[in-house]
């Protein structure tokens, strides 16, 4: 079978990465379809109020995901790529670091809730969801298969896990279970994936019992990842603070309707993660071997992000009223907010690609700076716009924040060329140049 080529990536070397990307896409698309169908049915069952309560808890926990994951995922892939013989120490050290971080987050979440709660969402729900921080430590196995360009195994786990999760939730809806059971079910989703990762890794003479913790390696990983931890907190703020602020300022029903906006809009955001995850090894190889090819691959990666995200934004902008009319009529008044929010995806795509460049160049602190700027922009705009415009204000604030965070690097001299390259992709200048050149 002959695979389509992407400009800037030679055919022979790329086919391996394309196969891996294809596997990830199958898994994520399958998971997306299942999750979207169940989310729509669940939103109808819960109604705006209960949907706002449960999504408020999910958004609240999201703020602490960066601490629980320690920003390690990309560094695990990088370490395994560079030192494959050190697999057991890398995975064991990363796993226990994540477990300890997840435990550490639980009292931190409690203190944060005392200071700034999600009004209407009980702390008991928050506590149940906070267990996710510990469970997700098994995601290091995901990173291992990424480093081996063997994402078909992750695909299998995700599809099976999401099918089981969907069956459980549909049975709960059919038997009309109370809201708290769905909070447990959300946490159980992560447990299902962890169990799947565990049994998948145990194949082919691999075992987690051979994992070991190395303090020196832990110190090294933290040294490189701490800017990404802080950056991740900032990312969480500018991605989810709108949901909590809207819930506290406009009530759980408005937040429940806005949750559907975020679900529809952000459903596609797995695409850049899949692409950059699969192409990152090829980009690292080009950096090592050929500077010109390295720059060319980065530009083509930005182009690809725009080619994928722009059509989705245009289609959803015009189709949003129809989507709500057909799927969730009770939430139909949220359609205009979706038409605005969907455009933030363009900047999510570009931001994901540029983040890989920053990691490759060891500019991790810049990730913190730009996401911090985006978080500040989002908070300020939410304070100004939500009281007057409700969820539309939250959508506008999110769009501006995403754009600001993505292009902030254009003002930093040593990486300003990346901002220019992204502008060339965003305004299709590089596409025009290619057409003229041909």
Please state, in angstroms and rounded to a whole number, the distance separating the CA atoms of residues 168 and 188.
10
Supply the pLDDT for residue 347: 93
- Give the model's confidence band at 2: pLDDT under 50 very low, under 70 low, under 90 confident, else very high: very low
What's the chain's Rg over C-alpha atoms? 21
The residue with greater pLDDT, 280 or 324, is: 324
Backbone φ and ψ for 178, nearest 5 degrees, come out as -70, 170
Supply the pLDDT for residue 419: 87
**Count of CB atoms situated within 10 Å of the CB of 201:** 21
Is residue 382 pLDDT above 80, yes or no?
yes
Supply the pLDDT for residue 239: 76
Sign (positive or negative) of CA dihedral 284, 287, 288, 292: positive
Backbone φ and ψ for 271, nearest 5 degrees, come out as -60, -55
Supply the pLDDT for residue 158: 80
> Do the domain assignments include residue 2?
no
User: Token pair for residue 376?
Assistant: 């500040």
Q: Under the phi-then-psi rule, with left for phi > 0, alpha for psi from -120 to 50, and beta for the rest, what region is 7?
A: beta
Supply the pLDDT for residue 4: 47
> Do the domain assignments include residue 178?
yes
- Give the model's confidence band at 132: pLDDT under 50 very low, under 70 low, under 90 confident, else very high: very high
DSSP H or E stretch at residue 129: helix 123-130
Secondary structure (DSSP) of 81-105: HH-GGGHHHHHHHHHHHHHHHHHHH
**Count of CB atoms situated within 10 Å of the CB of 126:** 22
**340-365 burial: b if 16+ Cβ within 10 Å, else e:** bbbbbbbbbbbbbbbbbbbbbeebbe
User: Token pair for residue 334?
Assistant: 């949220």
Q: Span 4-23, mean pLDDT?
A: 51
> Do the domain assignments include residue 290?
yes
- What pTM was estimated for this model as a whole? 0.78
Supply the pLDDT for residue 293: 78
Q: Span 212-216, mean pLDDT?
A: 87
> Do the domain assignments include residue 268?
yes
Is residue 343 pLDDT above 90, yes or no?
yes
Highest mean pLDDT among 49-53, 297-301, 366-370: 49-53
> Do the domain assignments include residue 5?
no
- Give the model's confidence band at 187: pLDDT under 50 very low, under 70 low, under 90 confident, else very high: very high
Please state, in angstroms and rounded to a whole number, the distance separating the CA atoms of residues 133 and 80.
23
Is residue 251 pLDDT above 80, yes or no?
yes
Supply the pLDDT for residue 11: 46
Supply the pLDDT for residue 150: 66
Is residue 21 pLDDT above 70, yes or no?
no
User: Token pair for residue 350?
Assistant: 């570009």
- Crossing angle of helices 123-130 and 87-115, in 10° steps, is 170
- Give the model's confidence band at 409: pLDDT under 50 very low, under 70 low, under 90 confident, else very high: confident
SS3 178: coil
- Give the model's confidence band at 9: pLDDT under 50 very low, under 70 low, under 90 confident, else very high: very low
* pLDDT averaged over every residue in the chain: 83
Among residues of the chain, what percentage have pLDDT more than 90? 26
Please state, in angstroms and rounded to a whole number, the distance separating the CA atoms of residues 194 and 200.
10
How many structural domains is the chain composed of?
1
> Do the domain assignments include residue 6?
no
- Give the model's confidence band at 232: pLDDT under 50 very low, under 70 low, under 90 confident, else very high: confident
- Give the model's confidence band at 411: pLDDT under 50 very low, under 70 low, under 90 confident, else very high: confident
Q: Among 344, 363, 353, 362, which residue's Cα sits nearest to residue 424? A: 353
Is residue 3 pLDDT above 50, yes or no?
no
Burial class (CB in 10 A: 0-12, 13-18, 19+), 86: middle
Cβ contacts of residue 380 below 8 Å, gap of 6+?
A: none
Supply the pLDDT for residue 369: 83
- pLDDT tens-digit map of 234-249: 777 777 888 889 999 9
Structural domain for 332, as ranges: 11-437
Angle at 215 (CA atoms; ends 214, 216), nearest 5 degrees: 95
Q: Among 121, 322, 91, which residue's Cα sits nearest to residue 214? A: 91
Are 371 and 337 in contact by the 8 Å Cβ rule? The answer is no
Sign (positive or negative) of CA dihedral 420, 423, 428, 429: negative
Give the Å distances, CA to CA, from 201 to 10, 142, 143, 164: 31, 9, 11, 20
- Crossing angle of helices 364-389 and 215-250, in 10° steps, is 10
**What are the DSSP E strand ranges found in 151-250?**
none
Supply the pLDDT for residue 142: 82
Supply the pLDDT for residue 341: 94
- pLDDT tens-digit map of 31-60: 777 777 888 888 889 888 898 899 888 888
- Give the model's confidence band at 106: pLDDT under 50 very low, under 70 low, under 90 confident, else very high: very high
Q: Span 102-130, mean pLDDT?
A: 91
* Torsion, CA 200, CA 202, CA 204, CA 210, rounded to 10: 140
> Do the domain assignments include residue 4?
no
């Amino acid at each position: 079978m002959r695979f389509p080529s992407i400009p800037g990536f030679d055919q022979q070397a790329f086919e391996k990465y394309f196969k891996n990307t294809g596997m990830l896409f199958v898994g994520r698309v399958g998971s997306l379809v299942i999750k979207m169908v169940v989310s729509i049915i669940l939103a109808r069952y819960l109604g705006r109020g209960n949907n706002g309560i449960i999504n408020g808890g999910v958004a609240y926990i999201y703020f602490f995901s960066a601490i629980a994951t320690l920003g390690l995922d990309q560094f695990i892939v990088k370490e395994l790529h560079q030192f494959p013989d050190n697999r057991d120490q890398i995975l064991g050290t990363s796993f226990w670091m994540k477990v300890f971080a997840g435990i550490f987050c639980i009292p931190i979440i409690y203190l944060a809730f005392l200071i700034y709660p999600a009004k209407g969402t009980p702390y008991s729900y928050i506590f149940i969801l906070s267990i996710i921080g510990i469970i997700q430590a098994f995601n290091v196995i995901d990173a291992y298969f990424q480093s081996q360009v063997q994402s078909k195994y992750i695909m299998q786990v995700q599809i099976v896990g999401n099918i089981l999760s969907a069956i459980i939730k549909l049975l709960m809806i059919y038997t009309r279970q109370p809201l708290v059971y769905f909070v447990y079910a959300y946490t159980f989703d992560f447990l299902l994936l962890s169990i799947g990762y565990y049994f998948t890794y145990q194949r082919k003479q691999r075992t987690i019992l051979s994992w070991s913790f190395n303090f020196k390696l832990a110190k090294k990983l933290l040294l490189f990842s701490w800017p990404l931890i802080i950056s991740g907190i900032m990312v969480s703020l500018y991605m989810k603070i709108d949901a909590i602020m809207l819930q506290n300022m406009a009530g759980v029903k408005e937040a429940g309707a806005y949750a559907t906006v975020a679900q529809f809009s952000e459903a596609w955001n797995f695409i850049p993660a899949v692409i950059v995850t699969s192409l990152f090894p090829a980009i690292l190889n080009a950096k090592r071997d050929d500077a010109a090819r390295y720059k060319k691959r980065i530009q083509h990666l930005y182009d690809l992000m725009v080619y994928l995200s722009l059509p989705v934004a245009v289609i959803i902008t015009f189709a949003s009223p129809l989507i709500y009319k057909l799927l969730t009529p009770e939430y139909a008044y949220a359609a205009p907010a979706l038409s605005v929010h969907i455009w933030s995806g363009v900047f999510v795509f570009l931001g994901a690609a540029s983040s890989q460049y920053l990691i490759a160049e060891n500019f991790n602190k810049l990730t913190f700076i730009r996401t911090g700027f985006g978080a500040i922009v989002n908070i300020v705009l939410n304070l100004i716009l939500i009281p007057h415009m409700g969820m539309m204000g939250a959508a506008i604030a999110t769009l501006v924040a995403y754009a600001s965070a993505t292009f902030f690097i254009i003002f930093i001299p040593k990486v300003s060329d990346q901002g220019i390259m992204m502008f060339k992709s965003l305004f299709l200048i590089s596409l025009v140049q290619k057409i003229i050149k041909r």
